[in-house]
Amino acid sequence: MNRTVFFSYVRRAPFGGNLWQGQVEGLNKILDEWERRRLSDVRWLAYMLATVFHETGGKMQPVREAGGERYLKSKPYYPWVGEGLVQVTWEVNARKFGATKPGQLMTWPIALKALFDGMLQGVFTGLALNDFFHVRKDDPVGARKIINGKDKAALIAGYHRNFLDAINASLDTSKLAEVDAEDAIPDDKPTSQSGTALAMIGGPVVTGTVIPAVLGIDNLYSLIFMLALLGIGGLAAFMFFSGRWSVTKSKAL
């Protein structure tokens, strides 16, 4: 899998044009675990990623069930509230994946074990990925039963298609020439490391277009205006390179 192609594709869908460091790190951990287990049906991987996208609200990091402590204490399974890449509740369920106390499903080793073992072995509901994806069946809508009946089944099937397109593209060597490597870089990368920022601010100076422009001005007011622009540009450059300002890329879909 070429991850530059993969991240370029998922940036557009399902992430809607923005891709953050935490999302990239989470996706990489899931992809690393997939490769470590030597699994092969990419439909399974796509559906796991789609499930995590839905269950974590797009964060791609282990999350805790929403709500304040007062609300959570009203739950019959408290303090074993929903946690992880897939929201695991109840002590008996959390212990199936190695958790010995509340909060441990927020750690990556246990969260990954819950995601993979839960969906591959049918630990959540008795149904597993191979019940919906095999040589004679391809059912991303029905696959929601692995986790939670029919809840948001069609929506998650749409995310599955997005991730499957990205995975298939990442396995096609011809796609590398079609993507912009910048699209695979998180938007919250330090600005001083951003090629986009460097080009926007440093380009005119580096190419030598500013000095000739100034020397060619024969009107006093125009010269003052140009010098003022250069001063603002210099201040902007300082703010960008010192990290006081940041750049957020918004890619066209």
Sequence spans of domains, the chain:
3-184, 191-241
Beta bridge partners of 138: 133
How far is residue 65's CA from residue 172's CA, in Å, rounded to a whole number? 38
CATH level 2 (architecture), domain 3-184: Orthogonal Bundle (1.10)
- The pLDDT score that the predictor gives to residue 250 is 41
Query: Which residue do the tokens 């190695």 mark?
Result: 98
User: What confidence tier does 188 reach under pLDDT thresholds 50, 70, 90?
Assistant: confident
- The pLDDT score that the predictor gives to residue 30 is 98
Q: Is the peptide bond before 204 cis (omega within 30 degrees of 0)?
A: no
- The pLDDT score that the predictor gives to residue 223 is 54
User: What confidence tier does 249 reach under pLDDT thresholds 50, 70, 90?
Assistant: very low
pLDDT, one tens digit per residue, over 65-112 is 999 999 999 999 999 999 999 999 999 999 999 999 999 999 999 999
DSSP H stretches of helix in 41-144: 42-55, 69-72, 91-95, 108-121
Query: By three-state DSSP, how is residue 63 classified?
Result: strand
How much is the pTM? 0.75
150 C-beta neighbours (distance < 10 Å), count: 10
- The pLDDT score that the predictor gives to residue 219 is 57
Q: Is the pLDDT of residue 13 over 60?
A: yes
Return the DSSP state at 138: E
How far is residue 7's CA from residue 163's CA, in Å, rounded to a whole number? 10
pLDDT, one tens digit per residue, over 47-69 is 999 999 999 999 999 999 999 99
Which residues, 6 or more positions from 192, have their beta carbon under 8 angstroms from its beta carbon? 240, 241, 242, 243
Burial environment of residue 116 by CB neighbours within 10 A (0 to 12, 13 to 18, 19 or more): buried
How far is residue 23's CA from residue 20's CA, in Å, rounded to a whole number? 5
